[in-house]
Structure 1
Amino acid sequence: MAPKTLILIGGTMGVGKTTTCRELYRMFDRSLWLDGDWCWTMHPWSFSGRNRQMVMENIVFLLNNFLRNDEFEIVFFDWVLHERAIIDEVEAGLIPCDRETRRFSLICSEEELLRRMKSDHRSEEDMRRSLARLPLYAHLGTELVDTTGRTPTETAEEVRDLILQTR
């Protein structure tokens, strides 16, 4: 099996993870993309210990299946990933395989974040939580990509270029 590349893309809610990844995974042949929020799509939404465990198990299960599939070389995974413990928990559950893992965090200015979240009609509570998480990304040891004033395509191109520098 050919070596894999796993790309983790974190960022606070509203920073542009989903829109960037929607562009980014299409820039690479033989790629897959998992948005961690897809595993939280439930009604009513409930953040409980049981649901968190289920979501984490589902994410790890899907990522492992992607890594096992020899038709794909690069796997993109985006999620809030605002704590190192969450990144470590995801990685600890992955199968041992020949892979390089790259960790990126998308950031932007507070003004840009609020503008985006208001245009997406996010709640005041979501905006407050997202702003509170924004400074956490500077301390994760990930590669920081500033999305302020950039389109999703421009952000995706920067991440693509960073990935290609070491491939």
Structure 2
Amino acid sequence: MRVIILNGPMGVGKTTVGKAIANKYAGTAFIDGDWCLDIHPFIGNKETKTMAIDNIHHLINNYRTCSECKQIVLVWLMDEQWVYDSLVTGIRDMGMDMLEVTLWCDAEELKKRWVNDVICEWRTDEWLEISKKSLPYFKRQKMVLDTSGINIAKIVDMIME
């Protein structure tokens, strides 16, 4: 079984792309890492991120043992290397294959997507600036897919090729 990991800046489209993959390929489990760290108010420190990683590993392991599950798509903003490394190590320890993709777009495209996402409570001007500042970090990651100007269906096809 394979785990598709979608990382990238806030607002780039990880959730949208992940759900599109899950909807297109039967037997795909969808995990949003934010669900595994849903504390109100939000607290993103070492303790809570470690807990979220553990929660994600448990979910992946449960899906791994389900005969109906063929693959897993995980979306989560991992902007610290230790978080990403811990997550990947745990998945490898389960003996699972991984496809790791960092979604990226330029600042202009990010702003367009941000404005069009009226559902997410995080889509404030302040968080947009924080997300824009993270673009250089994500562009340096491995397996970066520049999604600027590309529609969701094409992004899904590019990932799944």
**TM-score where L is the length of structure 2:** 0.86
Q: Tell me the alpha carbon deviations over residues 101-160 of structure 1, each in whole angstroms, 9 at most, x when there is no partner.
A: 11001111110101221333521221111111111123222x222221222222112212
Question: Which of 52, 56, 74 is the matching residue for 2:53?
Answer: 56
Q: Deviations over 1:9-47 (max 9, x none)?
A: 111000000011111112222211101112233322222
| Counterpart AA for 1:125 | E
Distance 1:106 1:129 in 2: 17
Query: Matched residues in 2 for 1:120 and 1:156: separation?
Result: 19
Q: Which residue of 1 aligns with 2:12?
A: 15
Paired residues of 2:7 and 2:77 also in contact (CA < 8 A): yes
Q: 2:111 aligns with which of 101, 111, 114?
A: 114
Q: How big is the shift at 1:95?
A: 6.6
Write the distance in 2 (CA, Å) between the matches of 1:139 and 1:99.
25
Q: What letter matches 1:128 in structure 2?
A: E
Q: Which sits farther off after the overlay, 121-130 or 15-24? A: 121-130
**CA 1:82–1:51 in structure 2 vs 1: closer, same or farther (change >3 Å)?**
closer
Give yes or no for contact 1:84–1:140 (8 Å, CA) kept in 2.
Answer: no
**Is residue 155 from structure 1 mapped to residue 155 from structure 2 by the alignment?**
yes
Which residue of structure 1 lines up, in the alignment, with residue 25 of structure 2? 28
Unaligned runs of 5+ in 2: none
CA contact (8 A) 1:9 1:77 kept: yes
Q: Deviation digits for residues 56-98 of structure 1, max 9, x if unmatched?
A: 2211111121223233221111111234322210122237444
| SS of aligned partner of 1:59 | helix
Distance 1:49 1:96 in 2: 21
User: Is the contact made by 2:4 and 2:98 (CA closer than 8 Å) also made in structure 1?
Assistant: yes
Change (3 A) 1:113 1:50: same
Q: Which residue of 2 aligns with 1:145?
A: 145
Distance 1:159 1:94 in 2: 19
Segments of structure 1 that go 5 or more residues without pairing to the other structure are 162-167
Instruction: Check whether the contact 2:106–2:148 (CA below 8 A) recurs between aligned residues.
Output: yes
After the TM superposition, which parts of structure 1 deviate over 3 Å for at least 4 consecutive aligned residues?
Answer: 94-98
Distance 1:53 1:83, change over 3 A: closer
- Distance in structure 1 (CA, Å) of the matches to 2:77 and 2:41: 20
Q: Which residue of 1 aligns with 2:136?
A: 135
